[in-house]
Amino acid sequence: MTSMPATENIIEITYLIATALFILSLKWMSSPSTARRGVRAGEVGMVLAIAGTLLHHGIVDYRWIAIALVLGSILGVPLGMVHMTAVPQRTALSHAFGALCVTLVGTAEFYLRAPDVPRFMMAVLSMEVILGSLTFTGSLMAAGKLQEVLPQRPLTYRGQNLVNLSLLAIAVGVAMYLVLHPGEKQFFPWIVGIPLLFGVLMIIPIGGADMPTVISLLNSYAGLSAAAMGFVLDSKLLIIAGALDGASGFILSVNMSKAMNRSFSNVLFGAFGQEQVSSAGARESRPVKSATAEEAAAILAAANKVVIVPGYGMAVAQAQHKVRELYDALTKRGVDVKFGIHPVAGRMPGHMNVLLAEADIPYDKLLDMGEVNPDFPQTDVALVIGANDVTNPAARSDSSSPIHGMPILDVDKARTVMVIKRSMAAGFAGIDNPLYYLDKTLMLFGDAKSFVGAIVRELTGGNHS
Ligand code: NAP
């Protein structure tokens, strides 16, 4: 009898430490220099939260938990090893699993408690299963679009938003009825089934281009449904962790929309990427100037100030370690090298920071858009490596461009611009880039990793592999 309060105290203390670690984890992850510590803190917090939960007296049999742990690990370990560029869809899958879990727990709790479900409890339980179900199918759809197993193109039809919002309204209406009449069990499947359908329909009109923003929004829904589950299960830890997840996911979606100069409603209802109406959409046939690795190396060696602008192509080519060699070779020659990081370069927030940190580029050399833009007019060479949209001057000057108004890195203001990419193909937004036709621009055609490697060999006299 005396052991019970002691175990409960241990559980409470474990949860308290886990909560503190989750909060610290978010704080530390907001800067590249402390991000690793943040990830570790989150991991330890999660292990403590699971350990505390396993100590609960309510658990009568550990066998099913053990089977679930093994199955979860079999799925989770390979998911954790995907290539960096596949992280957005991997994240969407984790949200789908989390949301499925929340929905199943909510459903089980309803059938265990009904008809004696107090109104507040029924309200949060409904919120839990509605958000959980729509996040489950929505996240699966988002993962499918990003992995290109589903068409990336937005599919739209007349009255689509009305149909979708009406469905959601019906689900909320049924939930309100259940709050008043929790004994009417036959209506419960409606508040699971309709949101499952809504999750699919909600993603259909959104283009693959907007999926990362949608994923962080779904992250926020998953967090809110987990917080609601915390009320149902009377778990303060779940309420806090869910609220942190919900708030951070929402802030991230807002920040990403801002960096792409899109409003939230435009991301969700705008069917971006459906058709390109801009004059910039037509590929130009004007000639461009190109250069070899030898010429590029000579120009870089003669420069005083170089700003490297990485983008999605650097990530695909996994060129970050070669970029580090280039940074070393140039700094050794006394060239001042900095990196200009656009907030939505690549395919997920912080993509470039993560890759450059992996290659041990000093954090103080990574400048964000606001810091680096005033430097471009005094920069001798802006070296763009696999970036496209985030350097497109049409965003400033062409009001008909789909990316008009999106803040960009002003590389065109540097004295010379060199762009490493494989062809004249467009980037994510599917539009041409007038930067490539400027007199001061030299195109360096090739794969980012091989081309940067070739420049390094020129600079070091072949001392690098
Ligand atoms: P981008 O506009 O997609 O352009 C990437 C360029 O890399 C392409 O033009 C491609 O040209 C080149 N490339 C691909 N593979 C390469 C390789 N192996 N070697 C060399 N070059 C290669 O990329 P970005 O400038 O980084 O812009 C990011 C875009 O994603 C923005 O439109 C942004 O709004 C969007 N987005 C970002 C996020 C985020 O969170 N970061 C989220 C949602 C949307 P070639 O094919 O000719 O090589």
Q: Measure CA 289 to chain center.
A: 35
Percent of the chain with pLDDT over 90: 65
Q: What would you measure as the largest C-alpha separation in the chain, in angstroms?
A: 85
Global pTM value: 0.79
In angstroms, the CA 377 to CA 373 distance is: 8
Considering only CA atoms, which of 418, 455, 454 is closest in space to residue 298?
Answer: 455
The pLDDT tens digits of the residues spanning 137-158 come to 999 999 998 888 988 777 888 8
Question: In sequence order, which residues have a C-beta less than 8 Å from that of residue 135 and are 6 or more positions away?
Answer: 95, 96, 98, 99, 199, 218, 221, 222, 225
Question: Which single residue is written with the structure tokens 């309709």?
Answer: 194
Distance between Cα 423 and ligand 1 center (Å):
13
**Overall average pLDDT of the 319-325 stretch:** 97
Exposure of 77 by Cβ count < 10 A (0-12 exposed, 13-18 middle, 19+ buried)?
Answer: exposed
Q: Which helix (H) or strand (E) holds 397?
A: helix 394-397
Contact between residue 212 and residue 89 where contact means Cβ atoms under 8 Å apart = no
Give per-residue pLDDT as tens, 218-242.
888 999 999 999 999 889 999 999 9
Burial class (CB in 10 A: 0-12, 13-18, 19+), 296: buried
Residue 355 identity (one-letter amino acid): L
Question: What is the SS3 assignment for 339?
Answer: strand
Give SS3 for 399. Answer: coil
Does residue 260's CB lie within 6 angstroms of at least one atom of ligand 1?
yes
pLDDT 10s digits, 111-120: 999 899 999 9
Ligand 1 pocket residue status of 429, Cβ below 6 Å:
yes
CB 309 within 8 A of CB 409: yes
| CA–CA distance, 95 with 225 (Å, rounded to integer) | 11
Residue 164 near residue 201 (C-beta atoms within 8 A): yes
Element (H, E) at 305: strand 305-310
> Contact at 8 Å (CB) between 203 and 141?
yes
pLDDT band at 207 (very low <50, low <70, confident <90, very high): confident
Question: Measured from the CB, is residue 427 less than 6 Å from ligand 1?
Answer: yes
Separation of alpha carbons 44 and 47, rounded Å: 5
Q: Say if ligand 1 is within 6 A of residue 421 CB.
A: yes
Could you tell me if residue 421 is left (phi over 0), alpha (psi between -120 and 50 degrees) or otherwise beta? Answer: beta
Report H helices in 186-235: 188-203, 211-233
Distance 222 CA to ligand 1 centre (A): 28
Closest CA to 351 of 36, 84, 89, 142: 84
Distance of CA 390 from the midpoint of ligand 1 (Å):
8
Q: Are 331 and 364 in contact (CB under 8 A)?
A: no
Q: Given this model, what pLDDT does residue 280 score?
A: 44
Q: CA 206 to CA 272: how far, in whole Å?
A: 7
Can you tell me which atom of ligand 1 is nearest the CA of 422? Answer: 48
Cα separation of 220 and 131, whole Å?
Answer: 10
Tokens of 342: 């656009």
- Averaged pLDDT of the chain: 89
- Ligand 1, atom 40, residue with closest C-alpha: 348
Nearest CA to ligand 1 atom 46: 425
Neighbour count for residue 200 (Cβ, 10 Å): 13
Residue 358: pLDDT over 90: no
Assess whether the C-beta atom of 388 lies below 6 angstroms from ligand 1.
yes
pLDDT band at 271 (very low <50, low <70, confident <90, very high): low
CA of residue 445 to ligand 1 center, whole Å: 15
Residue 2, pLDDT above cutoff 80? no
Two tokens at 334? 């006394």
What is the reported pLDDT for 277?
41
Amino acid 286 reads R
pLDDT by residue (tens digit) across 4-60? 578 889 999 999 999 999 999 999 988 878 888 999 999 999 999 999 999 988 888
Please enumerate in sequence order all residues whose Cβ is within 8 A of that of 332, keeping only pairs 6 or more positions apart, or say none: none
Question: Which atom of ligand 1 is found nearest the CA of 311?
Answer: 26
